[in-house]
Amino acid sequence: MAADKKRKHTLASSFKFGFEGIAAAAVKERNVKIHIAISVFVILSGFVFSISKYEWIAIILSIGGMISMEMMNTAIERTVDMYTKEYHPLAKQAKDIAAGAVLVFAISSVIIGFIIFLPRLLAWF
C-alpha cells in the first residue's frame, strides 16, 4: 500500500535535505548568488548606518523571504522542466506566476530598503 511505502525520515535527515537544497541553490542558481551578494552588502550597510532593532527585523525578513522566494521559484522551474520540455500554456503560467511572486517580494524589499537607508544616505551627503 502507498502509505506503507512512504519513507519516514528523522528530523536530522530532514534538516540535512534542507541544507543540501540551500547548497544546491547557492552553487547552481545565478539569481540566488546575486541575492546573497546583495544581502551581504545590505547587512554591511546596516552595521555602517547602525540601524535599529526593528529595522534589522525588517531587513532579516526581507533577505530571508527574498532568498526563500527565489528558491521556491527555482523548485517550480525544475518541477515544470521535469514534467515537460514541450511548450505548454500551463507550464508558462506556472513559471510566470512563480517569477511574478519573486518580483512582488523584490519590490516590497526594495521599498523597505529605501525607507530604511534613503534618509540616512541623504543625511550623509
Would you tell me which residues interact with ligand ATP (CB under 6 A)?
Answer: 31, 77, 84, 87-88, 91-92, 95-96, 99
At its nearest, how many Å lie between ligand ATP and the CB of residue 84?
Answer: 5
Between residues 58 and 99, which has the closer beta carbon with respect to ligand ATP? Answer: 99
Q: How far apart are CA 39 and CA 108, in angstroms?
A: 15
Between residues 4 and 86, which has the closer beta carbon with respect to ligand ATP? Answer: 86
Q: How far apart are CA 72 and CA 97, in angstroms?
A: 12
Look at the block and give the residue holding cell 519573486.
102
Of 39, 99, 35, nearest to 72 (Cα)? 99
Count CB atoms within 10 A of the CB of residue 73.
Answer: 22
Answer yes or no: 86 catalytic: no
Look at the block and give the residue holding cell 554591511.
44
List, in order, residues 6 or more apart from 49 with CB less than 8 Å away: 117, 120
Between residues 1 and 82, which has the closer beta carbon with respect to ligand ATP? Answer: 82
At its nearest, how many Å lie between ligand ATP and the CB of residue 110?
Answer: 18
Q: SS3 for 88?
A: coil
At its nearest, how many Å lie between ligand ATP and the CB of residue 23?
Answer: 17
At its nearest, how many Å lie between ligand ATP and the CB of residue 107?
Answer: 17
The one catalytic residue among 55, 70, 77, 86: 70
Q: Name the residues annotated as catalytic.
A: 70
